Amino acid sequence: MNIEQKITLDMQKAMKNREKIKIQTLRSLKSKIKEKEIEKQSILDENEIIKIIKSAEKQRIDSAEQFKKGGRKDLEKIELDEIEIIKNYLPKQLSNTELNNIVDNVIDELNANSIKDIGKVMSEIMKKLSGSANGELVQSLVKEKLGN
């Protein structure tokens, strides 16, 4: 079962159970996926769907931070609840040990030895990870290892 099918099934269950926030969140995800399919004029693959879901997660994280700064705990809680729902549809994040091993392996494979090689190292790592790690975290690890 692909991610889009899982979202549809979970949305149907949420409707039966009258879970308002879950319904709203999953409808939003389906809508964003459908918009992208219409824009692209073809069915999206899993990686494209994951990018859309990650984008939705990031938007909600940003909104939650803004609501927190503004003292709107009620709206912040809704955003945080939606983030938890969205996380169920993203790939499992790698541990720091697994991530370090992948970074080390790619650096060795490419014989990268200076910060000038960061572009090709990052490109290769991000292809391998396909959404299972935060890009900013990966970049800081690569900079740390190549900067030495």
Taking the whole predicted model, whether its pTM rises above 0.85 is answered as no
In the DSSP assignment, the letter for residue 87 is H
Higher per-residue pLDDT: 132 or 126: 126
Question: Are 61 and 105 contained in the same domain?
Answer: no
Q: Which ranges of the chain would DSSP assign to H, the alpha helix? A: 3-16, 20-40, 46-69, 73-87, 96-109, 118-129, 135-147
Question: Are 23 and 73 contained in the same domain?
Answer: yes
Question: Are 143 and 114 contained in the same domain?
Answer: yes
Question: Are 59 and 17 contained in the same domain?
Answer: yes
Domain boundary among 42, 69, 87: 87
Of 84, 82, 96, which Cα lies nearest the Cα of 133? 96
- Are 50 and 131 in contact by the 8 Å Cβ rule? The answer is yes
Question: Are 82 and 103 contained in the same domain?
Answer: no
pLDDT tens across 42-97, in order?
988 888 898 899 899 999 999 999 999 999 999 999 999 999 999 999 888 777 88
Q: What is the CATH classification number for the domain harbouring 18?
A: 1.10.1510.10
Higher per-residue pLDDT: 39 or 99: 39
- Residue 109's domain comprises 96-147
Question: Are 25 and 67 contained in the same domain?
Answer: yes
